[in-house]
Amino acid sequence: MKNELMNFEKIKRKTWQKLHRNTTVPLTQEELNSIKSFNDKISLQEVLDVYLPLTNLIRIYKKASGDLAFSKSLFLQTRNRPQPFIIGIAGSVAVGKSTTSRLLQILLARTFKYAKVEMVTTDGFLFPNKVLEERGILTKKGFPESYNMELLLDFLDTIKNGQSCEIPVYSHEIYDIVPDKTQKIESPDFLIVEGINVFQNPQNQRLYVSDYFDLAIYVDADVENIENWYLERFQKLLKLAETDPNNYYHRFTQLPFNEVLGMAQDTWKHINLANLEKYIEPTRSRADIILHKGQNHEIDEIYLKK
């Protein structure tokens, strides 16, 4: 990791938290509880120490992006069209990307009071299970080939050009794309795009999803910790599915626990870990900011691209 991050400034949390003087957190504990994933342990203190300075830094990036767009329009003698500021958030399964994304959505909406802040997850760009089965890659869901990357690129291009777009919706409860349901994204000021694959595009090496980002954030942690969090989350999903026959995980509640836990460990090793090591982690250096989490889920180090 050392050589890979030589182009990053490493900042300890104690240093980072001093970079922002605001001592008021613009959301309540109840609001924080409602947006965090159920295996996350984020606190209001972390919002104050880490996410408020991060929001302030995003403000700086946003202003720089707007100034550049204005200067380019003067140079080209064209009308300066407003474009959304697009933030990509990547990282492993179970590392806490969703919580980071939802939290930033709230903080940005309250920092930029008249801004429209939208969030999408790239799960919606997975091929439906039927297509994955036909291609023999259902067991590789989450790997690059399981995503309709052309559709994702078309979506980003459409939004970047100021147009509205409807995209598919994915449900973890049914473990599939929801039929006849879409999410409409219409002229946002900020767009947060969250997913394990947002720095990738192996189907088209000439154009990457991250080419559309104004800011790229990678949520990082040691592999041993991510595995523990994944297994914790799996067990909580099982608990939730006990009384819901329509839930994808309900079928596993009918099996002996040790057998199901062994299946989860195999899934981690042969699918999620393999995907992390081969496709996700190698894209980490494409980020502008890396948020590193310690064993207790708390962010302990921040890496900022020089």
> Of residues 190 and 172, which shows the higher confidence score?
190
Q: What percent of the chain has pLDDT over 70?
A: 97
Annotated binding-site residue numbers: 91-98
Give percent of the chain above pLDDT 90.
Answer: 77
> Residue 260: beta bridge partners?
none
Q: At 117, give phi and psi (nearest 5°).
A: -115, 115
Q: What is the pLDDT of residues 120-154, one digit of tens each?
A: 999 999 999 999 999 999 999 999 999 999 999 99
Please tell me the pTM assigned to this model: 0.94
Check whether 39 has a pLDDT greater than 90: no
Residue 54 has pLDDT above 70, yes or no: yes
Mean pLDDT is lowest, of 46-55, 203-212, 254-263, for: 203-212
201 falls in which pLDDT band (50, 70, 90)? low
Taking the CB of residue 197, how many other CB atoms lie within 10 A of it?
A: 24
Amino acid at 43: S
Whole-number pLDDT of residue 2? 60
Binding-site residue numbers for ATP are 91-98
Q: Average pLDDT, stretch 225-234?
A: 95
Please state, in angstroms and rounded to a whole number, the distance separating the CA atoms of residues 208 and 202.
Answer: 8
pLDDT tens digits along 2-25? 678 899 999 999 999 988 877 788
Average pLDDT on 198-218 reads 83
Q: For 81-129, how does the pLDDT look when each residue is reduced to its tens digit (9 = 90+)? A: 889 999 999 999 999 999 999 999 999 999 999 999 999 999 999 999 9
Task: Give the bridge partners for 116, in sequence order.
Answer: none
CA distance 48 to 50: 6
Indicate the pLDDT class of residue 206, thresholds 50, 70 and 90.
Answer: confident
Question: Rounded to whole angstroms, how far apart are CA atoms 84 and 120?
Answer: 14
Which residues does 92 contact at the CB level (< 8 Å), separation at least 6? 196, 219, 221, 226, 272, 276, 280, 281
Residue 172: predicted pLDDT: 87
246 CB contacts (<8 Å, ≥6 apart)?
Answer: 173, 174
The pLDDT of residue 73:
93
- Has residue 62 got a pLDDT over 90? yes
